[in-house]
Amino acid sequence: MASFKNGLQGLFTGKIGDLIGVKRNGQQFGRSLPRPSKKPPTYRQLNQRAKFGVAMHWLRPLKPFINIGYQNGQDNATPLNRALSYHLKEALVDTETGCRIDYPKVILSRGALVTSWVLEVIPQRDHILYIRWDNPPESRYCDPQDRMNLVFYNVQKEQYLTFENAAERSAKEVYLQMDKNFAGDTVHGWMHFVNKEGSEVSTGIYLKSSL
């Protein structure tokens, strides 16, 4: 059912026959309903659908991190859609059996804060992971109180391990208690910083360690 503003000649929202009235960014638009195609999908369309499924399946469990990491943008897209757009273009690789995530190209945050330099990523006894880094000069884009977030992904077990507010930037090192079930598996990791207000992030950097 459609509703009209300013009479029958005015703007409307809702559906009239094959016409839909929508309001976006304060402006009114009318558009036709999409008609189902009787043509079989092309290889390119099937490939794009497969990539979309792989990327969305992998990103969705990380939505709380992505909501922070991709919160800022010059469009009206959601953080998850911004992340999906990047990974569809840059972080998928085709293989003989389909497509998969290209882990070194994964970016789970994009922002104005500067990144720190990772110096060491060392597995230690009792499933402890030691990370040491150094920081650029202090500025509004590199505050000692910026907080570190980390995400790890176990390829074999298809499991995630996340650390929120793991350390302040000024600490320059952190010891993380990893999952003992990750031992011997291939584990990919990413880290980024968030300011104390939670309004700005650094662009994420890639870590890798076989634990």
123-143 pLDDT, tens per residue? 999 999 999 999 999 999 999
Confidence of residue 26 (pLDDT cuts 50, 70, 90): low
Higher pLDDT, 73 or 136: 136
124: CATH: 2.60.40.10
Q: Which domain holds residue 59?
A: 43-210
Confidence of residue 94 (pLDDT cuts 50, 70, 90): confident
83 domain residue, yes or no: yes
Task: Report the distance separating Cα 57 and Cα 148, nearest Å.
Answer: 25
173 domain residue, yes or no: yes
Task: Report the distance separating Cα 203 and Cα 201, nearest Å.
Answer: 7
pLDDT in the model for residue 8: 41
Task: Report the distance separating Cα 31 and Cα 18, nearest Å.
Answer: 8
89 domain residue, yes or no: yes
Domain count across the chain: 1
32 domain residue, yes or no: no
Higher pLDDT, 16 or 193: 193
Measured CA angle at 143 (ends 152, 66), to 5 deg: 35
203 domain residue, yes or no: yes
| Mean pLDDT within 163-189 | 96
8 domain residue, yes or no: no
Confidence of residue 208 (pLDDT cuts 50, 70, 90): confident
10 domain residue, yes or no: no
Task: Report the distance separating Cα 191 and Cα 129, nearest Å.
Answer: 13
